[in-house]
Amino acid sequence: MYFDNAATTQKPQQVIDALNNYYTRQNSNIHRGVHYLSQLATNAYEESREAVRQFINAKHTHEIIFTRGTTESINLVASSFSKKFLHEGNTVVISAMEHHSNIVPWQVLCEEKGARLRVAPITDTGELDVQAFQRMLTGRTKLVAVTYVSNALGSVNPVKELIGMAHARGVPVLVDGAQAVPHLAIDVLELGCDFFVFSGHKVFGPTGIGVLYGRAELLEEMPPYQTGGDMILSVRFDKTIFNSLPHKFEAGTPDIAGAIGLGAAIDYLNHVGMDRIAAHEAELLQYGTEVLHSIDGVRILGNAAHKASVLSFVMDAAHPHDIGQMLDGEGIAIRAGHHCAQPLMERFDVPATARASLAFYNTREELDALGKALERVHEVFG
Ligand SMILES: Cc1ncc(COP(=O)(O)O)c(C=O)c1O
């Protein structure tokens, strides 16, 4: 039984077939060849970009940049945006529930630039303190970077509202969508965000591929993140002219197979339907919450009114690692640890939690089995 979907998801056969098909029938480098295979690979790669655009409802295909994943997308923005727009005395606002990959890049950057990182607090139920967030937006704020869904608590942030507040002060917003894309239909135009980032492997696609969506007007103004092949229009020893979007931000040979696999994952999700996925997961979340509440000594962390299907919990009797190990012995995969959110663990005064993160393929029967296994944990350690 697999309940570690927030770490990475299982892959549908269609995704595995797409990877296999690329390597057996289409393998070639893209954008540089006039030959048949190169055109086949280029078309497949670019079709995936268009599939991503439609999936998140971006306005232009060239606003979709392929990266290695959420982490690289955030680092790209941190590095490139800041070169142009972040100066000494400025602030970057994040929240207390961010994943390390949406903390450390900003922290390092602020240190380098003499800027200040401001952290919007969260409540005891695991919800962002929206008023405190708003108070942190000042004339000095240059960027907001906030997660849509917390990987450790499941809280769904009111990102549209946050974006509205930031935009009222002329501040652009990056949304970390790593945990949102597997669960919610995404519409970047409706949200109004300036950047939106996610990872392929958390959305039933391959590892090694991810997405940065950026508004074209901003991306146009930002310098390249990496330099080299493919991101250039022309190179002379005295002057290089950079390529247009999206290629300006895709230096070198990309993960062609990964992009094609991600396209297959998106086709699959479109077929299943994000609305159906959200409805099924809402039911699972409610049921799983009841199951956990019925077990003595279990405390759920993250009780936001609006939650995705993440069940983070601690037990009086057992350390999260003991829980994880005992469940593993019964063939149940959960995650135990700080979930790359150490400041959040500190906020709740726990060293770690046990986390069951659900995907659309999980079932109530599996949650029953989880409940029974946790009762045994209680008996053994209690
Ligand atoms: C909210 C959030 N942001 C960022 C990341 C980093 O994703 P990746 O390791 O795929 O770059 C994760 C991964 O768990 C996450 O949950």
Point out the ligand 1 atom lying closest to the alpha carbon of residue 150: 1
pLDDT mean over 285-306: 97
Here the contacts of 32-35 (C-beta below 8 Å, separation 24 or greater) are 32/230
Query: Active-site residues: which are they?
Result: 340
- Structure-token pair, residue 134: 């708003």
pLDDT in tens, 204-258: 999 999 999 999 999 999 999 999 999 999 999 999 999 999 999 999 999 999 9
10 Å CB burial of residue 377 (0-12, 13-18, 19+) is: buried
This prediction's pTM: 0.98
Q: Is 99 in the pocket of ligand 1 (CB under 6 A)?
A: yes
**What are the φ and ψ backbone dihedral angles of 167, each rounded to 5 degrees?**
-65, -30
pLDDT mean over 185-194: 98
Helix (H) or strand (E) segment spanning residue 369:
helix 364-381
- pLDDT confidence of residue 382: 81
**What is the residue-averaged pLDDT of the chain?**
97
181 CA from centroid of ligand 1 (Å):
12
10 Å CB burial of residue 158 (0-12, 13-18, 19+) is: middle
**What are the φ and ψ backbone dihedral angles of 321, each rounded to 5 degrees?**
-70, -35
Check if the beta carbon of residue 333 is closer than 8 Å to that of residue 316. Answer: no
Q: Is 179 in the pocket of ligand 1 (CB under 6 A)?
A: yes
- pLDDT confidence of residue 256: 98
Q: Other CB atoms closer than 10 Å to residue 4's CB: what's the count?
A: 19
Helix, strand, coil % (nearest 5) of the chain?
45, 20, 35
- Structure-token pair, residue 355: 């986390």
Point out the ligand 1 atom lying closest to the alpha carbon of residue 202: 10
Hey, whose CA ends up nearest to atom 16 of ligand 1?
151
DSSP 77: H
- pLDDT confidence of residue 172: 98
pLDDT in tens, 322-380: 999 999 999 999 999 999 999 999 999 999 999 999 999 999 999 999 999 999 999 99
